[in-house]
Structure formats: structure tokens, C-alpha cells
Amino acid sequence: MANVKEYSVEEKLSSLVSLQKIDSKLDEIQVLKGELPMEVSDLEDEIQGLHARQLRIEEEINGITEFIEQKKTAIKDALELEKKYEKQSENVKNNREFEAINKEIEMQQLEVKLCEKHIRDANEEIAEKAVALEKAKKAISSKEGVLNSKKGELEKIIATTEKEETHFNKLADSAKKHVDPRLHTSYDKIRNNYRNGLAVVPVERDACGGCFYSIPPQKQSEIKQRKKIMVCENCGRILVDSDLNDTVEVK
């Protein structure tokens, strides 16, 4: 086992402050990175959904176009039949036959009209779908623009934070060596309890810098003496005087 140097309370406190400041820097980096990857993946999901929508609309348009082609063929068939019946009507033998053929001709004319109406309706439907398709395509291109800029931003952050992160992680490792394990464990526990990750806070304007609970003058002077580790009775954070807090700089 290595020699364990006995540190004074003041030294312990200043090591804790420096560890806190380093960890806060690392927290800031995490916050910066933490939101962009989520935004990027949300955008990717949205774009994927829009592409699926685009594909669906295109398939619907294809389906309607096919329907129109079928109706066009049906019109052609009906017109041919009509022609055939008209030819037949030239050689009818009696009135009954003539009427029967006329009925067939009317049927074919009706069929043509019906098909034409179906085609008109289908064309209207296609026009509506085309508007929706255009909308989806525009949304895709605008979201893709946002995605690209967010991706670029994230890459830049990663490129710069990688260096910072390595740097602060190194500092954190060496700062940890100056904090005894028990103190470090409670420091970690307190840090994990709070979203802002603050376990060591200065007394500011007669109050705890973490929860703003007021600190009585007697306790404040004890804190200033740096002879004991003092904690806020409200939030449990380790308290240091603001002078000590200010002397510790982390770069």
C-alpha cells in the first residue's frame, strides 16, 4: 500500500472544491453533448417517418393511375361493342331484335359515361394526393437541412469536447488522489442526489450555495475556520467559505 499522507481539513476541503469544479466542467460537457445526439436521432426518426409517408402516397397515386388505365380500357371496349352493335342493327330482322340491340348500345354508352366519371373523380383524387406528396417532400428536405446542421454541430462539439474531456478527466483523476476515499464516497453520494451535480458549495450571502437555506453566523465562522467538514443541515451538501471556493481555479 502506498503511503497515505494525512491531509489537513483545509487541504481536504480545497481538494474537494477542485474536484467539484472539475466534475462540474465534465457535467457541462455532458449536457452539451447529451441533448444534440437525442435531437439528431429524433430528426432521423421523423425523416424516416416522412419517407414512409412519401412512399405510401406514391403507391396510392400509382394505384389510382392504374385504376384510370383500367377505366380507359373499359371505355375502349365499350366503344368497340357499341360500334359492333350499330353494325348489327343495320341487319336486324324485326323490331324486337332492333330494340334489343338498341338496349345494348345504350348500355355501352352508359358504361362509357360511368367510366368517364370514375376517371374524373380519380384525377381529382390524384391532384389531392399530389399536394400531400409535395408537402411530405418539402418537409423531408427542410428536416434534412436541420439534421445536417445539427449533425455538424454535434461533430464540432465532439471534436472540441474530446480534448477538454480528456483534459478534465486527467485533472479529476489527480484531484481524486487528494481526497480520502470515505470523503470521496460521500461526495459522490451527494452529487448523485442532485441534478446539478453539486456536492460542495460555498456559503453565499449567508446561505447555502446549493439550496439557499440560511446559515447562522456561528456556523459560518466555523466554516471559515476550516477545521471541520461542515454540511448544510437542509440539503446535506458540503459547505466551504467563499474565499476558499474562489481561490480554487480549474482550467
**Contact residues: Zn ion, CB under 5 A:** 208, 210-211, 213, 232, 234-235
Cβ proximity to Zn ion, 148 vs 214, nearer residue: 214
- Asked if residues 215 and 206 have their Cβ atoms less than 8 Å apart, the reply is yes
Cβ proximity to Zn ion, 98 vs 213, nearer residue: 213
CB of 4 to Zn ion, least distance (A): 30
The Cα 118–Cα 125 span in angstroms is: 10
**What is the chain's Cα-based Rg?**
40
Q: b/e map of 14-33 (b: 16 or more CB within 10 Å)?
A: bbbbbbbbbbbbbbebeebb
CB of 42 to Zn ion, least distance (A): 36
The Cα 49–Cα 55 span in angstroms is: 10
CB of 214 to Zn ion, least distance (A): 10
Cβ proximity to Zn ion, 119 vs 232, nearer residue: 232
The Cα 8–Cα 134 span in angstroms is: 71
Q: Could you tell me which residues come within 8 angstroms of residue 153 by beta carbon, excluding any fewer than 6 positions away?
A: 36
Cβ proximity to Zn ion, 234 vs 242, nearer residue: 234
Cβ proximity to Zn ion, 140 vs 210, nearer residue: 210
CB of 209 to Zn ion, least distance (A): 8
Q: How many CB atoms lie within 10 A of CB 78?
A: 20
CB of 28 to Zn ion, least distance (A): 22
Cβ proximity to Zn ion, 147 vs 198, nearer residue: 198
> What region does 199 belong to: left with phi over 0, alpha with psi -120 to 50, or beta?
alpha
Strand order in the sheet with 230-231: 207-208, 200-204, 238-240, 230-231
CB of 188 to Zn ion, least distance (A): 18
Amino acid type, 65: T
Q: Is the dihedral of CA 40, 43, 49, 50 positive or negative?
A: negative
Cβ proximity to Zn ion, 105 vs 232, nearer residue: 232
Q: Could you tell me which residues come within 8 angstroms of residue 216 by beta carbon, excluding any fewer than 6 positions away?
A: none
CB of 200 to Zn ion, least distance (A): 11
